Amino acid sequence: MNKALWAGLMLAILGSLAACQTGKDSAGPSPAPLALEGSAAPVPWKRYVVEPLGVRWPQTDWKSFNNLVQTASPPVGALPKIDGPIAGNAENGKKLVLDRSRGGGCITCHILGNTGSQPGNPGPDLSMIGAQRTPEWLFAQIWEPRLTNPQSFMPPWGTHGVFSVEEVRDMVAFLMTLKTPAEFKSDKENPNKRPAPVETRPNLDPTENPAAFIADKGAAAFRAAGPKGQACIDCHRDPAQAFAVWGAQMPSYEPRLDKVLGVEEFVTRHARATTGGEFPMQSETNLALAIYLRALANGQPIRVDTRSPGATAALARGQALMDKKVGQLNFSCRDCHDPERGGNHWFRGQYVSGLPNLLGHFPTWRTARGEVWDIRKRFQWCNVSVRANELPPDAREYGDIELALTTMNAGRKLSVPGIRH
C-alpha cells in the first residue's frame, strides 16, 4: 500500500473515532444508530392507575368520543323537544353547577355571583345572567352551545351526555336566580384580579427540586455499561461538549421512522441500538437520562429545525392536532392554552398557562404528584382530564404536537429539570 493511500486511510479512521468521541454522529438525530423496530413505550400500553402521592387516574374508557387518532364524538345535535316552559329545581341546579365530578362544574370557568369559592374566568361572568337571558336561551347554551357558536369551547353538556334534560332544567332554574353582581372579599377570590402564580423556586437547586438528584442518576446511567459491554460515555467522552446545545434542538424529525422523536424516545431507540440498554419511555432510567441530557443544554435558546419536507409536514399535523376537539368535554389544546380562549386564565383555582410558556422546563418535577413528568405524560394527562383516551407516549401524534409546541417556544431558554405544582 503506497504512503498516500495509507495516510488517507488513517485520517479516515481517526476522523471516525473523533466524531464518535465528540458525539457528532449521535447528537444529530438522523445519522445516529437507532433501533427502528418495535415500540419505544411499554407494550401493551396501560393507563396509569395511581401516582406516588395517591393521585388516581380515571380508568373510564372514553371510546365513544374523539381522541387524537379517532373521530367518534356525537355530531352537533338538535335540542330535545320540551313541552311547556323550562322549569326545574333551583337548589339541585346549584349543586350541579358546583359539582366537580361533572367536568369541573360551571364555576370552573364562570363567576356565578356570590355562589361558590374561587371561580374561574375563561368564560363570561354569569352573575347577572338571570336578568339578561331567557330560560330557553340558557337551556340551549348548556345543552349544545355549538348551535350558536360552532367554535365554542364550552362543552356540549347535553349532547355529550354529561347532564340529562332534567338536570339541565335544574341548572337553568338556578341560573335564572342570578341577578346581582358578584362581591368578592379579596382579590384572591376574584379571578379577574387574582395574581397569576410566578414560579420562583430555584429549579436547579437539589435542596428545592428532587429532580436534580435524578439528573445525577442520569449521569451514572450514561457511564454504565449495557448488555453489549458499551456505555454512552465510550462514544461521547465529553458529554458537556457533545450535548451542549442538542437538548435545545429537540424534538427532531427522523426520516427513517417518518416521525418526530423527542429526547425520551431517542434515548430508548439509541440505547437499544448501541449499548443494548432497555429504557422504555417514562421508565426511571429513561427519565433520568432525559433530564441529564437536556440539562447539558441549559441556558441555550430553544430552536428546532423544521426545514425538511418531513419536518414541515409534521409541524402542520401538530398544529392541526392542537385544534382538534377531543373527549367528552370536547376541548382542544388551544381551547385551554391559547390566550384568546382559556390560556393565561384561572380554571377555578388552577392557573392555566398560555402556549409559549409550557415547554422549556420539561422533564419537570410535579410537587403535587411526587414524581417527574416528561412532556408526553403531560399530554396524556391533558387527554384524560378532558375525558379522552390517551395514547402511548411514543405516539406519532404526540411527536407532532411536541414539535409544534416547541416552535412556539423558540428563543426561550432551556432550564431542566423544572419544578411545578
**Rounded mean pLDDT of 227-232?**
97
Same domain, 131 and 213: no
- Please give the residue range of the domain that contains residue 132: 90-175
Q: Tell me if 16 is assigned to some domain.
A: no
**Rounded mean pLDDT of 77-96?**
94
What secondary structure letter does DSSP report for 301?
Answer: B
Same domain, 203 and 139: no
Q: Tell me if 14 is assigned to some domain.
A: no
Over residues 151-161, the pLDDT tens digits come to 999 999 999 99
* pLDDT of 325 strictly over 90: yes
Q: Tell me if 181 is assigned to some domain.
A: no
Cα distances from 111 to residues 33, 115, 122, 129, 348, in angstroms, run 55, 8, 10, 10, 9
- The whole-number pLDDT of residue 4 equals 44
Same domain, 311 and 387: yes
Same domain, 159 and 206: no
Q: What is the chain's mean pLDDT, rounded?
A: 92
> How many independent structural domains does the chain possess?
2
pLDDT band at residue 88 under the 50/70/90 scheme? very high
pLDDT band at residue 69 under the 50/70/90 scheme? very high
Same domain, 115 and 230: no
Same domain, 286 and 227: yes
- The whole-number pLDDT of residue 29 equals 45
Same domain, 115 and 203: no
Q: Tell me if 240 is assigned to some domain.
A: yes
Over residues 135-148, the pLDDT tens digits come to 999 999 999 999 99
Whole-number Å distance between alpha carbons of 267 and 193? 44
**Rounded mean pLDDT of 115-139?**
95
Cell readout for 158 is 347535553
Over residues 32-46, the pLDDT tens digits come to 999 999 999 999 999
pLDDT band at residue 355 under the 50/70/90 scheme? confident
Same domain, 56 and 95: no
Q: Tell me if 12 is assigned to some domain.
A: no
Listing DSSP states for 24-92 in one string gives: HHHHSTTTS----SS-SS-SS-----B-TT-PBPP----TTS--SS---SPPP-PPPP--S-----HHH
Q: Which of 2-16, 20-34, 233-247 has the lowest mean pLDDT?
A: 2-16
Over residues 251-281, the pLDDT tens digits come to 999 999 999 999 999 999 999 999 999 999 9
Q: Which CATH number is 118's domain given?
A: 1.10.760.10
- The whole-number pLDDT of residue 12 equals 39
* pLDDT of 360 strictly over 50: yes
Q: Tell me if 362 is assigned to some domain.
A: yes
- The whole-number pLDDT of residue 356 equals 83
Same domain, 49 and 100: no
Same domain, 98 and 245: no
Cα distances from 105 to residues 97, 102, 264, in angstroms, run 5, 6, 36
Same domain, 215 and 171: no
* pLDDT of 22 strictly over 80: no
Q: Tell me if 351 is assigned to some domain.
A: yes
Q: Which of 7-11, 170-174, 287-291 has the lowest mean pLDDT?
A: 7-11
What secondary structure letter does DSSP report for 195?
Answer: P
* pLDDT of 102 strictly over 90: no
Q: Tell me if 8 is assigned to some domain.
A: no
Of the residues 142, 175, 208, the one at which a domain ends: 175
* pLDDT of 421 strictly over 80: yes
Whole-number Å distance between alpha carbons of 195 and 176? 31
What secondary structure letter does DSSP report for 308?
Answer: S
* pLDDT of 30 strictly over 80: no
Same domain, 233 and 363: yes
Whether the CB-CB separation of 340 and 354 falls below 8 Å is answered with no
- The whole-number pLDDT of residue 10 equals 40
258 phi-psi bin (left φ>0, alpha ψ -120 to 50, beta other): left
Question: Whole-prediction pTM value?
Answer: 0.90
